[in-house]
Amino acid sequence: MKITERYGLPFVSMTVMFRERPLTLTRVLLDTGSAGTLLNADAVQQIGMVPEENDLVDMIRGVGGVEYVYTKNVDAIWVGESTIKDFQVEIGNMDYGLELDGILGFNFLKQAGAVINVQRMVLSVINA
């Protein structure tokens, strides 16, 4: 999968399936420093991914400060050649001053066996 550069940062696209409704997100930050994968609440509400009574709420900390998020399991997530089923994501406001649909974090990269080649600007996966 091709990596693009925006704001001097690496971006990819991904597709999320939630309750059999797919959504492609094109502005997803590739972030090896983020433990989890985070999706923008505004972007995913169109496929019914909204807070529900049984969702776990958590507080995450990062360079941008502290943010409250809720956790969902999605049917599947696709990034390039890799598909991971029953994948856990966090949903938050993501008000970081950048236009972001999400952050692809280390939990996905590790599970997919991702290899990032910054010279070629390509994300490959071993566990396709």
Q: In this structure, which amino acid lies at residue 39? A: L
- Interatomic CA distance for residues 69 and 54, integer angstroms: 13
CA distances 123 to 4, 25, 51, 57, 114, Å, are 10, 16, 31, 31, 7
- Interatomic CA distance for residues 101 and 27, integer angstroms: 5
pTM over 0.75? The answer is yes
pLDDT digits (tens, 9 = 90+) for 58-115: 887 766 677 889 999 999 999 988 899 999 999 999 888 889 999 999 999 999 999 9
pLDDT digits (tens, 9 = 90+) for 20-66: 999 999 999 999 999 999 999 999 999 999 988 888 888 877 666 77
CATH topology for the 4-125 domain:
Cathepsin D, subunit A; domain 1 (2.40.70)
Residue spans per domain, the chain: 4-125
The torsion region of residue 84 among left (phi > 0), alpha (psi -120 to 50) and beta comes to: beta
pLDDT at 106: 96
